[in-house]
Amino acid sequence: MKYNFDMGETYTRKDVKALIGAIDPGNIGGQWGTGYASFNGCYFLFANINSPGRTGHDYHNILNNDSLYWFAKTKHTLSTRTIKNFLSGDYEIYIFTRKDSTDPRFIFQGLGFIKDFEDTDPAHIVWGFTDNLSMVPNEFKPKKRISYIEGARRRSVTNKYERNSEARKKCIEFYGTSCLICEMNFKEIYGDIGKDYIHVHHEIELSSIGREYKIDPIKDLKPVCPNCHAMLHKRKPAYTLKELKIVMGVEQ
């Protein structure tokens, strides 16, 4: 770690700027007042958990045990340079979270590594945490993209798997945008801003397949809300949709 932060300790944005030697640490305007900032070849990511940020945006970030289900800034997709940098593995990414957006203090979770991602707008990334990037499990180490086929390996010493946006689209066209577990529909609750919004869950985890494969968007993919998506992945391998419905008492 280039900078010395203690995992589990709290820091304000001003504390972070002071500790890394950023110019004018007392000023948290500009990029430092948003979800992530860059300095000296590193990124500093500040995530609100179940609480809207200062701009009022709330993408339902979820902190679940050792994973952060996180959404990028509006219009930041997988093709945005910053998100590409996140995926590259070439930068240290320091992740801070808080549950109350009125509290200036964030908990330092650790250096982030990418466990999974979705090609959505904004981009959706599942982060893991470590204090030593050399200890990241092999299946989560980044690779150079060589294909857009679902499950395609990024060629290097280990594997990282791609998402296919067309498969996601076909899944939603077939099932619609209501959660298949709890039946939540974002448009019904949030109006027009929730139109067409839903997560897509892979019933077969890509990282467990170990090879390139052609996905069936109807059989292999299912639309679920962020909360149910997080709960499905509370276990490895993930719960099935039926198992989670039983846990929730909506099915026997």
The 10s digit of each residue's pLDDT in 67-125 is: 898 989 888 998 899 999 999 989 999 999 999 889 999 999 999 999 888 777 788 88
**Do 2 and 118 share a domain, yes or no?**
yes
Q: Answer for the pair 2, 92: CB distance below 8 angstroms, yes or no.
A: yes
Helix (H, G, I), strand (E, B) or coil at 102: coil
Q: What would the two tokens of residue 67 be?
A: 């994973």
Q: How much is the pLDDT for 52?
A: 59
Give CA–CA dist 103/197, Å, rounded: 29
Please state, for a pLDDT cut of 90, what percent of the chain lies above it: 48
Tell me whether residue 143 is in a domain.
no
Q: How much is the pLDDT for 130?
A: 95
Q: Answer for the pair 251, 245: CB distance below 8 angstroms, yes or no.
A: yes
Tell me whether residue 9 is in a domain.
yes
Q: Answer for the pair 233, 244: CB distance below 8 angstroms, yes or no.
A: no
Question: How many distinct structural domains can be found in the chain?
Answer: 2
**Do 111 and 37 share a domain, yes or no?**
yes
Structural domain of residue 127, as residue ranges? 1-136
Greater confidence (192 vs 145) lies with: 192
Q: Answer for the pair 2, 91: CB distance below 8 angstroms, yes or no.
A: no
In the predicted model, what is the mean pLDDT of the chain?
83
Q: Give the residue from 78, 210, 195, 202 showing the smallest Cα distance to 145.
A: 78
Tell me whether residue 129 is in a domain.
yes
Final residue in a domain of this structure, among 118, 136, 154? 136
